[in-house]
Structure 1
Amino acid sequence: MKFCDECGSMMQTEGDKWVCQSAECDYAELRDSATEQEMTTTQGQEGSTVVDMSDVDESEVGPTVEQKCPECDEVQTVRYEMKQIRSADESETRFFTCTVCGKKWREDDH
């Protein structure tokens, strides 16, 4: 992936050039195969394995916080994870799972 030196937008290849995708920018530069070869790597991906989590207690997975569970209607220890599900300029969405009843819910910043 390459970004424009002029405006920072993502560039795409067109023949032997990198061309800026921004409508307001007409920056282009010649492609360099040596530089492009460095952009793509499979180093470190060989021999990856699936992690077996079947023997791990659910309460030990992920960070926890004290939060009011909508199902239990009282403060419980809940597991949470953060995911970017909207555009990059929006905050992440927090997903919670109650360790007592298993209820799952999400919380967004508005």
Structure 2
Amino acid sequence: MEFCDECGSMMKADDGLWECGSCGYTEPKGDADQYVITDDQEVGEIIESSGETSLPETDAICPECGNDRAHWYMQQIRSADESETRFFICTECEHKWREDDN
């Protein structure tokens, strides 16, 4: 499902294009490698991360290195009637682990 960049309405598929029924805006349909690259973009351009994250931090013991701080987030990975899974990422070694409700 796609949403219009211009007005936010739901777009519908029409012959290789996504078309907005409200304002008429269209864009190519398909994988990202099928999109047209403009002159100001470089093919294969790599954007490097600064290493900083916007994830919240909490007290959690890393099972890998024993550090006591970790970033965390929650994600629904099972059926909707089950609780979310908490994921932790160590602030020192970047080991990732999860905590499930049993």
Q: How high is the TM-score relative to the length of structure 2?
A: 0.51
Secondary structure of residue in 2 paired with 1:88: coil
1:66 to 51, 59, 77: 59
Unaligned runs of 5+ in 2: 10-24, 26-45
Q: Does 1:101 align with 2:93?
A: yes
Name segments (4+ residues, structure 1) moved above 4 Å: none
Q: 2:74 aligns with which of 63, 79, 82?
A: 82
The residue type paired with residue 65 of structure 2 is C
Larger Rg over CA atoms: 1
Q: In 2 relative to 1, CA 53–69 (structure 1 residues): closer, same or farther, beyond 3 Å?
A: farther
Structure having the higher helix fraction is 1
| Identical residues among aligned pairs (%) | 47
- One-letter code aligned to 1:44: G
Superposed CA RMSD in Å reads 2.7
- SS of the aligned residue for 2:61 comes to strand
For structure 1, list consecutive stretches of 5 or more residues without a partner in the other structure: 1-39, 47-51
Distance in structure 2 (CA, Å) of the matches to 1:92 and 1:53? 31
How many residue pairs get aligned? The number is 64
Q: Which residue of 2 aligns with 1:44?
A: 8
Give the 5 Å matches for 1:9-20: none
